Homo-oligomer: A and B are copies of this chain.
């Protein structure tokens, strides 16, 4: 006979599993059809669960989408942070960041679509959160630029503006690729890196 505590742990693990399954299904569903066109029915079907089960784990369609968004942002920030940590020197760090970002976008098309493109009407809490997460990412970039300025690798400048430019540039390129995948996204890394580095005044390689 298992102890109550063990049973509780088992139950919790199973719950977590179901939650992950739903999230996974939601990712596919939302990426495939967009927020509005995706019905809770679609997510449920994709997850192999009933609609009711969705509501056991998430209080609403919106919250489900929000959780997805947070996931996407966290994944992205993790990857980029690690990439930067692994690189040495200002220029290398920037290049690593870009490369890891584009790699992540390329590997996780679904999340990318959700994070960069999908919308639920540009005014609701969902779009608000999406913008905040995007702003957080932009701020991450800004901090590295600030460091580079502090270390003298970069001339003093409006790093917030520069970070926004970088964010917008990357987003545009990625979305363009999502809409019309031609060559692998990786292949534009060198040129995009050059462009962005030049934009902030890094002397060319």
Comparing A9-17, A45-53, A168-176, the segment that makes contact with chain B is: A168-176
Asked if B173 and A168 sit within 8 Å, CB to CB, the answer is: yes
Asked if B161 and A191 sit within 8 Å, CB to CB, the answer is: yes
A123-B135 Cα distance, complex, nearest whole Å: 24
A157 adjacent to chain B (CB < 8 Å): yes
Q: How large is the interface on A (under 10, 10 to 19, 20 to 34, 35 or more residues)?
A: 35 or more
A124-B117 Cα distance, complex, nearest whole Å: 12
Asked if A172 and B162 sit within 8 Å, CB to CB, the answer is: no
- What 1/0 mask marks residues of chain A from 190 to 205 whose CB sits below 8 Å from any chain B CB? 0110011011110000
Asked if A173 and B165 sit within 8 Å, CB to CB, the answer is: yes
Given the complex, which residues of B lie within 8 Å of A166, measured CB to CB? 169
Comparing A18-26, A30-38, A61-69, A87-95, the segment that makes contact with chain B is: A30-38
A158 adjacent to chain B (CB < 8 Å): yes
> For residues 119 through 143 of chain A, which have their beta carbon under 8 Å from a beta carbon of chain B?
119-124, 127, 131, 135
Given the complex, which residues of B lie within 8 Å of A124, measured CB to CB? 34, 37
Which A residues have a C-beta under 8 Å from some C-beta of B? 32-37, 113, 117-124, 127, 131, 135, 157-158, 161-162, 164-173, 176, 179, 188, 191-192, 195-196, 198-201
